[in-house]
Amino acid sequence: MKFRAAYLLLLAASLLLLSGCYTVPETGRSSFIIPIGDDVALGTAAFADIKAKEKISTDPAANERVRRIGQRIAAAVGDALPGAKWEFVVFDAPETVNAFALPGGKVGIYTGLLKLADSDDEIAIVMGHEIGHVTARHGAERMSQGLMVAVGGVILDSATSGKKNHDLLLAGYGLASTGGILAFSRKHESESDYIGIRYAAKAGYDPRAAVTFWRKMAKASSPSKMPAFLSTHPSHERRIADLQGWMAQTLPIYEAAKLRYR
């Protein structure tokens, strides 16, 4: 058992040595990333798989609209997404109010979201938010955290095996880890909200559309019965309040940028 624990400690130390600090664009936050794979290659492969399985819209107006907004957001992102080969695809799913972005500059928008976000500004807000997750490397950060939590759990299991409070210690570790990961997810969502409105503003889209969009989302969503501390997303009220608080710094960016797109 001692040998196993020592081996796992060595593994954890090796992972820490391989890891690096990544500076999140727009916020300047330092994040912990373990190099697990090629983000761009994984994102490109995943996007190809989604396109093969989902129905792609043939509506020329919808496709042109999303492409036009996307190109402006991509210009605002600039060098924050190295290796990006931008691709904007509209998926024909009228009941799906969703969008996503993957490493490599791959962006998907569902027609259900286009119905809800009825202005270009609101679409830009959603697109900026999803791309914000990618430029912040939230996926890689969550994978890194999950890997370290898993290794930590195995080390604790090995170190306390046969001891009186073994099961209680493992249960406590599991609860604490779950709570930490959920809080981490909420922070990621808030960070992407912040990054997203800045990208939208830099692209000449009104950041105030973030407030109108999330009010629509709040109205369209069924009331959640899940306690806030178990949610992976901030409440609609918290999200709207945060967005309103960031307007003072994003509106000047928008006012300067919109002159370029008249």
pLDDT tens readout for residues 157-208: 555 555 656 454 444 534 444 444 455 578 999 999 999 999 999 999 999 9
pLDDT of amino acid 230: 45
CA–CA gap between residue 222 and residue 219 (Å, rounded): 8
Alpha-helical (H) ranges within 108-207 are 111-116, 120-135, 138-160, 166-202
By the 8 A CB rule, do 131 and 81 touch? yes
Paired sense of beta strands 106-110 and 87-91, if any = parallel
Residues 6+ away with beta carbon under 8 Å from 228:
235
User: CA-to-CA distance for 246 and 262, rounded, in angstroms?
Assistant: 25
Q: In what order do the strands lie in the sheet with 87-91?
A: 87-91, 106-110, 99-102
Question: Is 189 assigned a catalytic role?
Answer: no
CA-CA distances (angstroms) from residue 4 to 142, 149, 158, 194?
26, 17, 7, 44
Residue 231 has a pLDDT of: 55
pLDDT by residue for the chain (262 residues), tens only, comes to 444 555 545 555 555 555 568 899 999 999 888 777 788 898 999 999 999 999 999 999 999 999 999 999 999 999 999 889 999 999 999 999 999 999 999 999 999 999 999 899 999 999 999 999 999 999 888 877 766 656 555 555 555 555 656 454 444 534 444 444 455 578 999 999 999 999 999 999 999 999 999 999 888 776 555 445 445 567 889 999 999 999 999 999 999 998 888 7
Question: What is the DSSP track for 186-203?
Answer: HHHHHHHHHHHHHHHHHT
Residue 252 exposed, middle or buried by CB count within 10 Å (0-12, 13-18, 19+): exposed
Which pLDDT score is estimated for 177?
43
Task: Specify the pLDDT at position 93.
Answer: 96
Q: Please, are residues 195 and 132 in contact by the beta-carbon 8 Å criterion?
A: yes
Catalytic residue among 130, 141, 189, 191: 130
Q: Distance (Å, rounded) from C-alpha 11 to C-alpha 25? A: 30
pLDDT of residue 128: 98
Torsions phi, psi for 223 (to 5 deg): -60, 130
Mention every residue, 6+ apart, whose C-beta is less than 8 A from residue 148.
12, 15, 34
Taking the model in full, what pTM does it have? 0.79
Question: Which pLDDT belongs to residue 175?
Answer: 45
pLDDT at 183: 53
